[in-house]
Structure 1
Amino acid sequence: MSQEDKPDHLIDISLPLFGGMITWPDSTGCRLLPVRQIEKGDCVNVSRLDCDVHTGTHIDAPKHHFRGGHSVDHIPLDTLVGPVLVCHLPDARMVSSKELAALALPQDTRRLLLRTSNSERWAKGESGFFPDYVALTADAARWLIDHEVRLIGMDYLSVQRYDDGPLTHQILLEAGVVILEGLNLAGVSPGHYELLCLPLNLVGAEAAPARTILRTWKNSKI
């Protein structure tokens, strides 16, 4: 079958939300609480979702780190939807400018998702937060800006390393780069896709959970 004959295919790269899921250490976690229940005599089932906006797969807006920074409802959808490149860094212990330069990205790359060993840990079903996850260094953030990347996605709960300060976030967000965190890229082959990232339209919020998928289609060279 030629590439032109291949049908569209959707790949869900979002983390499922449920009680007991892996969250940032000081997070309130995720709880789905029944408010009304048919089995208890109510005419409908109604639930309440209780979680912080950085739970699971989510985007960060500048307001996360900057007073007066814009919130998620001001991020244009055309940044969140469109051509994306998925790259593999299976042996990286961290992602610095050196690792990014070695990828030899096409010059028109504006959205980039990085699959690291973090995704293999998702695939194994690890149940606890691991602080040694792979993430970006500050010089990697500057490299992305220099190369005009507008969205960067990482396959763990933060784009920056656990023991680093906020500089990586600040560099990216100050430059208007959208940060997409909490991806599960296990099983996703490197290459070109269409990104469909739709965060909740939370007015005034610094972050929002996002159902995020990749789509391949007949002409996957994008």
Structure 2
Amino acid sequence: MNKWIDVSQLLSNKVACWPGDTPFSYRVSWSKEESGSVNVSEITMSVHTGTHIDAPFHFDSEGKKVKDLDVNLYIGEAKVVHLHNPSSISVEELKKIDLAGVTRLLIKTGAWTNRETFPTSIPPVDLGVAAYLSNQGVRLLGLDLPSVDSLDSKELAAHHELAAHNVHILEGLVLDAIEEGDYELAALPLSLTEADGSPVRAVLRKR
């Protein structure tokens, strides 16, 4: 049986976070020497650190929170495709891909090479992509990028358009060594009842 492949960013004090957001921090807060029996640790982080999902509440105060999302979106058959350093993720590029029967689409752009440093620019998802993906039956879009929008965007047009077409967002994947093809995906968010997003442990297995 094919083994599961981890496609998540490592969560360490070196992981890049969005400029101005809460940096990741880990420490042992209660050591075995202090407790007499166990080490107990704590982490501080933004829910958008590393590999994570966005809930619509992230960009819409009336939008769904993590507790409202269907976990089945984040488990199941997925297709990995490569777009080699595109200037943007466009409908024209996606029309070259056979999306018949695809529910979860994961795109490798190769645009974020050093994940210990936050990128200065990324290829955004163009307007029109959400409608196209929805019409094709895609319900989850995963990228090897920290956002579906340009990093300086305040309108977050792609986020809003994807949500409006019921296409959910998975960001920060590590697809460097992943070939194009059909896979099984598991990328479950935590049960954070009021959260606008959640870190995930994303794994793939070749079908």
For normalisation by structure 1, the TM-score amounts to: 0.86
Higher helix fraction (1 or 2): 1
Give unmatched runs, 5+ long, in structure 2: none
Secondary structure, in 3 states, of the residue corresponding to 2:159?
helix
Aligned residues between the structures: 206
Q: Is 182-191 or 67-76 further displaced after alignment?
A: 67-76
38, 43, 50: which one pairs with 1:49? 43
Q: Which residue of 2 aligns with 1:66?
A: 60
- Deviations for 1:59-110, whole angstroms, at most 9, x for unmatched residues? 111111222211112211211111100000014121111111122x232111
Contact 1:65 1:170 in 2 (8 A): yes
Q: Distance in 2 between matches of 1:126 and 1:54?
A: 14
Deviation at 1:195, TM superposition (A): 0.6
Q: Distance in 2 between matches of 1:106 and 1:138?
A: 18
Q: Which residue of 2 aligns with 1:135?
A: 124
Overall identity of the aligned pairs, in %? 33
Secondary structure, in 3 states, of the residue corresponding to 2:81?
strand
Secondary structure, in 3 states, of the residue corresponding to 1:180?
strand
Secondary structure, in 3 states, of the residue corresponding to 2:128?
helix
Counterpart amino acid of 1:204?
E
Q: Distance in 2 between matches of 1:209 and 1:126?
A: 15
Secondary structure, in 3 states, of the residue corresponding to 1:87?
strand
Q: Which residue of 1 aligns with 2:160?
A: 170
Q: Distance in 2 between matches of 1:20 and 1:106?
A: 36
Q: Which residue of 2 aligns with 1:153?
A: 142
For normalisation by structure 2, the TM-score amounts to: 0.92
Q: CA RMSD in A?
A: 1.6
Give unmatched runs, 5+ long, in structure 1: 1-6
